[in-house]
């Protein structure tokens, strides 16, 4: 891990543990010992996050702990039980089939976080599988969780990525890997669904109270804490989906067991940032009906929220009608929150200082033009910052990819008029604002695939290069310009499935 050192960092044995989730009863989780990973190789270690956690990166025990070959000092790992709606169908028994919470610690700033190993072997919830993760999907999750964090989108984080020559059978024979991921909580919608649908309603309150105490402390002493907490959860969820939409991100498997109770992006499987913009883009080739396509994500977020709210009926009131009324009021917050957040973010991407009547139509027209042309989503919005209000010059960088130039030029005329309608219009200042919300670099599928292929040959330099690049997604990085290019034609339609 190098000689990286910062004053105040501590070896793992000295970090302050705070085992709140593990302190819940065995109804919520099961103790599990990780399966040792043979011949572990550290592909990448996130030193920036380690320092944030207060971890001494020179601790010699790190590699063994982060590969599952040694326990975290004084903490017994646990795997959580949950259920969920998968592709709309109810599945009554799921759980952490290959994830183990290996520690709960307090950061130097006082925030409590949990650390999980993903791919550390079988658990009681593995459903006959091996509990392993493969290097291919582990690299994608490791890179994308940190890329999303740098974009300002709520997400789980990644501390380390360890590989092994240990064989793992998927569609083909692959090799194993373990990611250590970090979050304030890994509780999902599906954990509440598990107890509600089993009729174990007495288990709902302790789990809800745990989440509220650790992550919504301002609500702890309120008699209406469950309703107020759910309002915040639903609003966080709506805002998260708005952020996904406006950065062109598709999750791929928006099952309720993959939805975080904190509104975090959770469980990176067959995700994708769109290259060519398509309103109906489906990034998961296993999603045969397109349930989780780009244009469906807002409605799926609302549907998942309705599933969570149903589970909370027993906590909201002993009167069924009153509980239903409370749930209805909370449910209706989703659509208004999403609409307001998405519209504001689209307006920010266009450099508009405020949202006005007619802006929704302006945005919709642009998206229709980009969709018809299959224009590159990320590059198009980045290049819109070049439009000037003091000139009628063509919108270079965007116009070259447009099929219907007449429609686009008419849109640019209206866009310029909208920009000019704002006082103190300054093109340079507006361009700077736009470039802080329209990334130049995202984790495109072909970039991740190149890093995967190199790492499979024990060359981890591309993983490290992408981590450096994606930590600064909004900055011009002249020596990394090639990473901002659209993918070559033969790599524009890489398909990602659920197997990992």
Residues in Cβ contact with 8 at an 8 Å cutoff, skipping those fewer than 6 apart: 54, 108
- Is 318 catalytic? The answer is no
* CB 217, CB 263: distance < 8 Å: no
> Is 131 annotated as contributing to ligand binding?
yes
> Is 497 annotated as contributing to ligand binding?
no
> Is 170 annotated as contributing to ligand binding?
no
CA nearest to 234, candidates 326, 340, 334, 153: 334
* CB 54, CB 47: distance < 8 Å: no
> Is 107 annotated as contributing to ligand binding?
no
CA nearest to 263, candidates 241, 294, 295: 241
Place of tokens 């402390």: 217
Write the DSSP symbol of residue 402. Answer: -
Helix 204-215 with 225-247: angle, nearest 10 deg: 70
Give the three-class secondary structure for 260.
strand
Residues in Cβ contact with 417 at an 8 Å cutoff, skipping those fewer than 6 apart: none
> Is 98 annotated as contributing to ligand binding?
yes
* CB 23, CB 123: distance < 8 Å: no
Instruction: Give the DSSP letter string of 198-215.
Output: TT-GGGHHHHHHHHHHHH
Residues in Cβ contact with 55 at an 8 Å cutoff, skipping those fewer than 6 apart: 9, 10, 12, 15, 62
| Structure token pair of residue 4 | 């990286």
> Is 41 annotated as contributing to ligand binding?
no
Residues in Cβ contact with 159 at an 8 Å cutoff, skipping those fewer than 6 apart: 45, 46, 49, 50, 53, 66, 115, 180, 181, 182
> Is 430 annotated as contributing to ligand binding?
no
> Is 255 annotated as contributing to ligand binding?
no
Give the chain's length: 500
> Is 258 annotated as contributing to ligand binding?
yes
Task: Give the torsion sign (CA, 360, 365, 367, 371).
Answer: positive
> Is 97 annotated as contributing to ligand binding?
yes
| Catalytic site residue from 56, 59, 96, 257 | 257
Write the DSSP symbol of residue 301. Answer: H
Return the active site residues: 257
User: Known binding site for ATP: residues?
Assistant: 95, 97-98, 118, 130-131, 181, 188, 267
User: Known binding site for Mg(2+): residues?
Assistant: 258, 267
User: Known binding site: residues?
Assistant: 95, 97-98, 118, 130-131, 181, 188, 258, 267
């Amino acid at each position: 891990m190098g000689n990286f050192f910062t004053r105040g960092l501590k070896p793992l044995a000295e970090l302050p543990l705070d085992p709140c989730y593990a302190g819940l009863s065995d109804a919520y989780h099961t103790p599990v010992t990780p399966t040792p990973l043979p011949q572990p190789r550290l592909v990448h270690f996130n030193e920036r996050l380690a320092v944030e956690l207060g971890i001494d990166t020179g601790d010699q025990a790190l590699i063994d702990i982060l590969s599952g070959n040694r326990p975290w000092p004084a903490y017994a790992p646990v795997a959580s039980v949950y259920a969920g709606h998968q592709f709309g169908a109810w599945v009554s028994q799921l759980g952490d089939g290959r994830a183990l919470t290996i520690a709960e610690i307090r950061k130097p700033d006082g925030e409590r976080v949990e650390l999980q190993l993903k791919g550390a072997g079988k658990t009681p919830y593995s459903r006959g599988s091996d509990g392993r993760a493969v290097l291919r999907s582990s690299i994608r999750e490791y890179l994308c969780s940190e890329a999303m964090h740098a974009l300002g989108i709520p997400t789980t984080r990644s501390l380390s990525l360890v590989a092994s020559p240990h064989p793992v059978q998927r569609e083909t024979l692959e090799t194993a890997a373990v990611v250590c991921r970090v979050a304030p909580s890994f509780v999902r919608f599906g954990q509440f669904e598990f107890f509600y649908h089993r009729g174990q309603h007495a288990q709902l309150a302790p789990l809800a109270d745990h989440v509220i105490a650790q992550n919504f402390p301002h609500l702890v002493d309120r008699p209406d804490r469950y309703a107020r907490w759910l309002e915040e959860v639903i609003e966080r969820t709506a805002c998260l989906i708005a952020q996904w939409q406006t950065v062109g991100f598709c999750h791929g498997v928006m099952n309720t067991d993959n939805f975080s109770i904190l509104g975090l992006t959770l469980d990176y499987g067959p995700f994708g940032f769109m290259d060519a913009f398509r309103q109906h883009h489906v990034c998961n080739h296993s999603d045969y009906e397109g349930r989780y396509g780009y244009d469906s994500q807002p409605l799926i977020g609302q549907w998942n929220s309705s599933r969570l709210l149903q589970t909370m009926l027993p906590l909201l009131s002993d009167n069924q009608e009153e509980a239903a009324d409370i749930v209805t009021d909370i449910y209706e917050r989703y659509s208004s929150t999403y609409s307001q957040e998405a519209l504001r973010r689209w307006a920010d991407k266009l450099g508009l200082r405020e949202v006005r009547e007619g802006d929704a139509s302006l945005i919709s027209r642009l998206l229709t033009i980009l969709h018809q042309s299959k224009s590159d989503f990320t590059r198009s919005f980045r290049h819109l910052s070049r439009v000037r209000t003091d000139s009628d010059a063509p919108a270079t960088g965007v116009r070259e990819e447009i099929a219907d130039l007449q429609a686009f030029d008419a849109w640019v005329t209206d866009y310029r008029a909208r920009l000019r309608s704002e006082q103190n219009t300054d093109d340079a200042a507006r361009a700077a604002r736009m470039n802080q919300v329209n990334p130049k670099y995202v984790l495109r599928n072909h970039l991740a695939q190149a890093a995967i292929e190199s790492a499979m040959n024990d060359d981890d330099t591309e993983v490290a290069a992408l981590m450096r690049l994606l930590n600064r997604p909004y900055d011009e990085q002249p020596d990394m310009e090639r990473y901002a290019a659209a993918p070559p034609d033969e790599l524009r339609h890489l398909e990602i499935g659920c197997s990992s």
